[in-house]
Amino acid sequence: MVKLEMMTAGLPDFGTDFKHFDFAKIAEARGIKGIRLEEPRNLRAALHKCFAHPGPVLLDVVTNPHKIFIPAKITGKQVMGFSLFLLKETLGGNMDEVEELITRALGPASVRGLGKTR
């Protein structure tokens, strides 16, 4: 969600992609109980394990960063911020990220030939 909030504020995202970290294993290495949750349907069981443990627990919840949460009311400020983000990313040479974002939101046909000048 931080990445999306940065986008709607017109800021290029930075430090929001943690693709290869297993925070539960890092916690275990430090002597703290670590539980990794990869499937939403297992949330209740994972929470029960956390609350049943007598000491500190780190619950590492893996989420889909491309799942877009649409607020109940989209403000003009959010639209302007997101437009500014897309412009900055495009002018900054990050067309691949812009294309991936549009593809995930609208489908592959929406970006056919976008950014391809070759």
45 and 74 assigned to the same domain: no
51 and 81 assigned to the same domain: no
110 and 85 assigned to the same domain: yes
DSSP 57-109: EEEEE---TT-PPPPSS--HHHHHHHHHHHHHHHHTT-HHHHHHHHHHHH-GG
Higher pLDDT pick, 16 / 68: 16
Sign of CA dihedral 72, 73, 75, 80: positive
Percentage above 70 pLDDT, the chain: 78
Residues 31-37 have a mean pLDDT of 96
Give me the pLDDT at residue 112, please: 60
Cβ distance 14 to 20 under 8 Å? no
Residues 55-68 have a mean pLDDT of 83
pLDDT of 18-28, one tens digit each? 777 899 999 99
Strand partners, 60: 36
7 and 24 assigned to the same domain: no
Residues 50-67 have a mean pLDDT of 88
pLDDT of 82-96, one tens digit each? 888 888 888 888 888
How many domains does one find in the chain?
A: 2
Above 70 in pLDDT, residue 110? no
13 and 24 assigned to the same domain: no
Taking Cα atoms as reference points, which of 56, 65, 20, 16 lies closest to residue 35? Answer: 56
13 and 30 assigned to the same domain: no
Residues 50-78 have a mean pLDDT of 83
Domain range for 38: 18-64
Give me the pLDDT at residue 29, please: 97
Q: Tell me the three state secondary structure of residue 57.
A: strand
24 and 11 assigned to the same domain: no
